A and B are shown apart, each in its own frame.
Chain A
Amino acid sequence: MATIPTLPIPISYITDRYLLFSIDAVMYLRREHHICGVPIGTLPQIPQQNVFLGLPLELTPEEARLLVEKGIAFIIDEASSHNSGLKTLGKEDKSGYLLELEQEGQRAARLQAERKEIQREEALKQISHKINAESEVIQARDPAGDLNALEDSEDPGLFTSYHQSGNQPASSRASVVSGAPMSITPATSYPPLQTLSSCEFSMPLPNVPTSYPLFAHLHSKGYFLAPGLRFGCQYLAYPGDPLRFHSHFLVVSAEWDEEIDLLDLIVCGRLGTGVKKGFLLGGVEKKSHVSEDQDSQSIRTFSLEWAGM
């Protein structure tokens, strides 16, 4: 069932946000690259919704940059690319795309009708089993002849009434549904628009905060990183998918010679221990003598927990 989107994935840059609109891309990035992002979409009818949010998925600049650096995604200036894309979209492409949408809608309608049919048959089977079992129980319990006769005379009537009430409206509904294609609202603009990572609208690497090296370091160790506001830190580090694991660390990054208030170590350390997490402080090590290979940054990390004494 694992669908892999065409790589590299376009990340839409809209009003200073990095957004993903394709569910395939979202699932793929979470599954293969440990990038979760934050879903920010509400239902159109409920703009004040603040739980169970959906597409689009917003990526932090760190996440977007990591994906671009790994060559999995590229950033595209959505507004201008969309405008120019729609202008250059040919008539045939457009009608072809509409036709495709309609076919997809028909397919969806057919699938739904089939699923309903199967469900209905199963429900009917269960009902008839139940009725058979009940009548057997009654027969076994009541050997008295006249009562039995009464049950027998009534049973077929009940049975047929079930059939009628179940059968006719459902089949008529199914025929209605399979006739009209469902209307599909596409969530992505690629397709129909063409994208190339080398096109004029692709953008440079996202600007990231100075905590990016620590972010990338933890990500390379297999941690899933989420925004840390909930626990007053920069990132939360999960040892696996956040749906399956509690986070292990409250992560704070610091510059090598940046002054740290010792009280902050206590604050985060005590809070972390209180919520069964560790406090992880880290940053890029600045060596006093400049080494030849400057590309290989070394990250120093320290984990802190309350000693309980």
Chain B
Amino acid sequence: MASAPEPSSLTTLISNTGSHPISALTTQILHDLRYQHLWTSLQIHTPSKDSPSTGEQQQQHYSTPLISGIPPHRIYTHPDEQLYMLESGLRDEDILPERVFVLPTAQDQSWSLQKMAAVFDYLPDTEERPSLSGGDDEVNGSTKAVAAHLAEYYKQTDKARATKEWGGKRILLAMANRGMGGDGTIVYYIIQEGIVKPRQN
């Protein structure tokens, strides 16, 4: 007698974390980020528990959890920021990746501008910055020059964040392909608030 195949590790994980559809979705996307895209320090933010904005209306509209984590490499660079980095000789890998917020969604979920705005209102204004003193072990000349450029770059980033010239708040939209014929594909799109010119791919 052939027994039923073992459930996949993802199925096991989802069945262990509860039966609520939203939590299953969040778990699925978190799993994808951790093992497919190698993100680290992943967290789930549930609005009711740790809401930074205290307005009642926002909580009322917004109830889905967000995921945040640190990607292995930067996932978005604004075109003007890229120009600045080129001019000061900074490469992508010189800058430590920042924490990115991810919005988990499923393909047939209903959506509206209002919901989108509620997500962005819920997002914190400032992202945490990786500490500058992280690279103590490398003290040769070239990294010193890079560190000076980096300090200048972070100053510029703060300025750009205030004026929003390098884009406004941003979030990664993750959409899972579910239901009938769902093959487990998850797609990722960057959404930014405001009119942000496209990257030159």
A259 at interface (Cβ–Cβ under 8 A)?
Answer: yes
| Complex contact B191–A301 (CB within 8 A) | no
B132 at interface (Cβ–Cβ under 8 A)?
Answer: no
What is the 8 Å Cβ interface bit string for chain A, positions 258-295, against chain B (1 contact, 0 not)? 11111101100100110011101111011011000000
A309 at interface (Cβ–Cβ under 8 A)?
Answer: yes
B197 at interface (Cβ–Cβ under 8 A)?
Answer: yes
| Complex contact A257–B112 (CB within 8 A) | yes
B110's contact among A259, A276, A303, by CB below 8 Å, is which? Answer: A259
A104 at interface (Cβ–Cβ under 8 A)?
Answer: no
| Complex contact A306–B113 (CB within 8 A) | no
B37 at interface (Cβ–Cβ under 8 A)?
Answer: yes
What is the 8 Å Cβ interface bit string for chain A, positions 128-166, against chain B (1 contact, 0 not)? 000000000000000000000000000000000000000
B73 and chain A: residue at smallest CB distance: A309
| Complex contact A300–B113 (CB within 8 A) | yes
| Complex contact A309–B113 (CB within 8 A) | no
| Complex contact B113–A307 (CB within 8 A) | no
B57's contact among A277, A288, A300, by CB below 8 Å, is which? Answer: A288
Count residues on chain A whose CB falls below 8 Å from chain B CBs. Answer: 41
| Complex contact A256–B112 (CB within 8 A) | yes
| Complex contact B195–A221 (CB within 8 A) | yes
| Complex contact B193–A278 (CB within 8 A) | no
Q: Provide the residues of chain A in CB contact with B120, threshold 8 Å.
A: 302
The CA-CA distance from A289 to B75 in the complex, in Å, is 37
Distance in Å: Cβ of B121 to nearest Cβ of chain A? 10
A258's contact among B112, B188, B191, by CB below 8 Å, is which? Answer: B112
The CA-CA distance from A218 to B108 in the complex, in Å, is 30
B116 at interface (Cβ–Cβ under 8 A)?
Answer: yes
The CA-CA distance from A300 to B96 in the complex, in Å, is 31
A281 and chain B: residue at smallest CB distance: B113
| Complex contact A273–B198 (CB within 8 A) | yes
Contact A305 to B189, CB < 8 A, known contacts A221-B195, A254-B113: yes
Contact A266 to B113, CB < 8 A, known contacts A278-B198, A301-B195: no
Q: Provide the residues of chain B in CB contact with A303, threshold 8 Å.
A: 167, 191-196, 198
| Complex contact A260–B198 (CB within 8 A) | no
| Complex contact B112–A260 (CB within 8 A) | yes
Contact A304 to B113, CB < 8 A, known contacts A266-B175, A277-B198: no
B58 and chain A: residue at smallest CB distance: A288
A33 at interface (Cβ–Cβ under 8 A)?
Answer: no
Distance in Å: Cβ of B108 to nearest Cβ of chain A? 7
| Complex contact A307–B190 (CB within 8 A) | yes
A306's contact among B108, B111, B189, by CB below 8 Å, is which? Answer: B189
What is the 8 Å Cβ interface bit string for chain B, positions 174-201, against chain A (1 contact, 0 not)? 0100000000000111111111111111
B117 at interface (Cβ–Cβ under 8 A)?
Answer: yes
Q: Tell me the A97-143 residues at the B interface (CB within 8 Å).
A: none
Q: Provide the residues of chain B in CB contact with A256, threshold 8 Å.
A: 112-114
Distance in Å: Cβ of B197 to nearest Cβ of chain A? 5
Q: Provide the residues of chain A in CB contact with B109, threshold 8 Å.
A: 262
Q: Provide the residues of chain B in CB contact with A258, threshold 8 Å.
A: 112-113
The CA-CA distance from A286 to B114 in the complex, in Å, is 8
Can you give 11 A-B contacts (C-beta < 8 A)? A249-B195, A262-B111, A266-B189, A285-B113, A301-B194, A303-B194, A303-B198, A304-B191, A304-B192, A307-B172, A307-B190
* 4 nearest A-B residue pairs (beta carbon): A278-B198, A307-B188, A303-B196, A260-B111
Interface residues of B (CB under 8 A from A): 37, 57, 75-76, 105-114, 116-117, 120, 167, 172-173, 175, 187-201
Q: A301-B193, A304-B192 are in contact. List 10 more A-B contacts (CB 8 A).
A: A218-B195, A258-B113, A262-B107, A265-B173, A283-B113, A285-B113, A302-B192, A303-B192, A303-B193, A307-B188
